[in-house]
Amino acid sequence: MTVKGIIAISGKSGLFKVVAQGKNNVIVEALADKKRFPAYATDRISALDDISIFTDSEDKSLVEIFETIYKKEGGKNCISPKEDAKKLASYLAEVLPDYDREKVYPSDIKKIFMWYNLLIDAGELKEEAVVEEKEDKAKKVETAEKKTTAAKAAPKAVKPKASADKGKAKTSTPKKVAAPKSGGSRGK
């Protein structure tokens, strides 16, 4: 499962896909409504694949938690983030039993489930086998396009033109070069 190119921007609700990069900003597209706008370096941007959740032992990446939820729910939406905080905490305990209950706040738990449901609705969360299959198809198409483009761009073999005087060897006459003028001095 991958969430590459998906970001969260502090102060803006929802998730965004990076679609282009400018000089001083990145162009992002909201997953919910597909609206595009620039995000600047002053915005606090977090890539989802860099986010992790505190546990009693090692931190667990958000992607791993999404994978667990995906398997539990069969690729469908999970619990609504609008549910009671206790229900959300107990659902997270089912998915991630050793999460740190002191460091992971109810607002963090809501975000996890809100983001998961948003990614599912946008079609951005898929099993790894499906993602790899699509990438393989894309690579095959890209390779075929490169071959086609290369074939079109390759210089064609030039056949020598048949001359009207077949069999006769052409002789070239040397060009006459003008001899430098001699004599006279300058400035007389």
Quick one: what percent of the chain has pLDDT higher than 70? 67
Half-sphere exposure of 95 (CA within 13 A, CB side): 27
* Element of type H or E holding 85: helix 85-95
pLDDT tens-digit map of 84-103: 999 999 999 999 999 999 99
What gap in Å lies between CA 89 and CA 96, rounded to an integer?
A: 10
Q: Can you tell me the mean pLDDT for 48-61?
A: 93
Q: What is the pTM of this model?
A: 0.66
Q: Which residues contact 68 (CB under 8 A, 6 or more apart)?
A: 95, 96
Rounded to whole angstroms, the Cα distance separating 182 from 179 reads: 9
> What domains sit in the chain, N to C, each tagged with a CATH number?
6-122 (1.10.10.1650)
Per-residue pLDDT tens over the stretch 109-138: 999 999 999 999 998 887 764 445 455 555
Q: What is the pLDDT of residues 143-182, one digit of tens each?
A: 656 555 555 555 555 555 555 555 555 555 555 555 556 5
CA dist 84 → 34, 153, 168 (Å): 29, 63, 98
Amino acid identity, position 149: T
Average confidence score pLDDT of the chain: 80
Amino acid making up residue 183: G
CA separation for the pair 55, 102 (Å, rounded):
10
pLDDT at position 41: 83
